[in-house]
A and B are shown apart, each in its own frame.
Chain A
Amino acid sequence: MSVRKPEEVVELLQQASELTRDLMTENQRLRRRVGEAEVESQKFAERFAQVQDQSELLQNLFVVIHRLHASLELAEVLATLREVVINLVGSEDFGIWSVGGAELSLLAFEGNEAELRKLPETTGAQIRGALEREPYFRPDGESLGLTAICPLKVGERAMAVIVIRSLLPQKPRLSENDRQILEVLSNQGAVALMSAQLYEQALRESKSLRIEVRA
């Protein structure tokens, strides 16, 4: 067995020490990189969730617009408005009123009819306010009062108004996406309603003209 000289041992120890130092530096560098990669991964996860949320919203908006303009029958347009509020926004306690001058008349509803019919008397000023200005959404944190008032307007002309009293029990509040759906209902719903009303009017006029021509 050969015995190393003391100088050789010292040199070996120095080499080992340098190697350890290099490894520790590399280790620190890798730890930093792992930390950076974790932050990056977290950012990607958040971005992915945002993209998924946006994609979900766009898909829902597509369905809303597609369904609203799928028919010229007034009853079907109203049915679509009801279905959107029940299934996409999440409420079974709301009414849809037509707006004619100072009168509000109930066109469709979900929930307690008698209570909903009283709404224009009890909250008429709030509904009129929203009709003149823009949709109303109850602020987060407030638990009393109407949940949302969504006027259906073509330009400045109010065709109808959707008043949501409350949401489904599993739905604590309106999300940003719900508000966007209601805003789309506000304009596209109004256009669909107007088209249906004009179509019905055209059908009526055409029918009476035909009768007149035959006579």
Chain B
Amino acid sequence: MTTILVADDSATMRTLLELNLKKLPGVRIVLAKDGADALQKFEAEKPTLVLTDLHMPNMSGFEFIEKVRTGKNDKHTPIVIVTTRDEAESRQRGMDLGASAYVCKPINGAELVQVVEGCLAGITAAPAS
């Protein structure tokens, strides 16, 4: 079973992302309402992949990624940023922190599913360490 953690402070966005991700077979979705909630659920659920917004209360998406990559020393779980910010600087910062992909809102459901499928295929194709 693939577990996808979705972190977004907008309930509308969480519903929309959940509906899109449910199109993938064998997927379980875990929802988080901000970065701090996402970090807690990341530890508890050990998700296969994470989708995170950047601008969230309590803990931003950048801070969440940093804590996962350095604090938790998890370098492998794909993290997809889903945000309204389309600035090169923000994109670069996300990638430098260890994000796997960067998707701008408003999202296209089919494209988002493709990105997620690509990240999941990358996990399957990667040699076991």
Interface residues of chain A, those whose CB is within 8 Å of chain B, are: 52, 56, 59-60, 62-64, 66-67, 70, 79-80, 83-84, 86-90, 92, 168-171
Q: Tell me if B86 and A60 are in contact (CB < 8 A).
A: no
Chain B 89-112 against A: per-residue CB contact (8 Å), 1 yes, 0 no? 000000000000000111011100
For the complex, give the distance between the alpha carbons of A171 and B107 in Å. 11
Q: Tell me if A83 and B12 are in contact (CB < 8 A).
A: yes
Most chain B CB within 10 A, of A52, A87, A90, A171, is at A87
Interface residues of chain B, those whose CB is within 8 Å of chain A, are: 10-13, 15-16, 19-20, 84, 86, 104-106, 108-110
For the complex, give the distance between the alpha carbons of A108 and B19 in Å. 27
Q: Tell me if B106 and A90 are in contact (CB < 8 A).
A: yes
Assuming the A-B contacts A67-B11, A80-B11, A86-B10, are A92 and B84 also in contact, with contact meaning beta carbons closer than 8 angstroms in the complex? yes
Assuming the A-B contacts A67-B11, A168-B105, A169-B86, are A87 and B16 also in contact, with contact meaning beta carbons closer than 8 angstroms in the complex? yes
For the complex, give the distance between the alpha carbons of A86 and B105 in Å. 9
- Chain B residues positioned under 8 Å from A80 (CB to CB): 11-12
For the complex, give the distance between the alpha carbons of A56 and B12 in Å. 15
Q: Tell me if A87 and B110 are in contact (CB < 8 A).
A: no
- Chain A residues positioned under 8 Å from B106 (CB to CB): 87-90, 168, 171
Determine which of A59, A63, A169 lies in contact with B12 in the assembled complex, contact meaning CB atoms within 8 Å.
A63
- Chain B residues positioned under 8 Å from A89 (CB to CB): 106
A72 to chain B, nearest CB (A): 15
Q: Tell me if A87 and B84 are in contact (CB < 8 A).
A: yes
Q: Tell me if B84 and A90 are in contact (CB < 8 A).
A: yes
Q: Tell me if A83 and B13 are in contact (CB < 8 A).
A: yes
For the complex, give the distance between the alpha carbons of A48 and B13 in Å. 25
For the complex, give the distance between the alpha carbons of A59 and B105 in Å. 16
For the complex, give the distance between the alpha carbons of A52 and B84 in Å. 23
Beyond A56-B108, A168-B84, A168-B104, 8 additional pairs, beta carbon < 8 A: A59-B20, A63-B15, A67-B15, A83-B11, A83-B12, A87-B10, A92-B84, A169-B86
A171 to chain B, nearest CB (A): 7
Assuming the A-B contacts A90-B106, A92-B84, A170-B86, are A60 and B11 also in contact, with contact meaning beta carbons closer than 8 angstroms in the complex? no
- Chain A residues positioned under 8 Å from B11 (CB to CB): 67, 70, 79-80, 83
For the complex, give the distance between the alpha carbons of A109 and B20 in Å. 28
CB closest chain-A residue, reference B105: A87
CB closest chain-A residue, reference B16: A63
For the complex, give the distance between the alpha carbons of A87 and B11 in Å. 11
For the complex, give the distance between the alpha carbons of A64 and B12 in Å. 7
CB closest chain-A residue, reference B110: A52
Q: Tell me if B13 and A87 are in contact (CB < 8 A).
A: yes
Q: Tell me if B109 and A56 are in contact (CB < 8 A).
A: yes
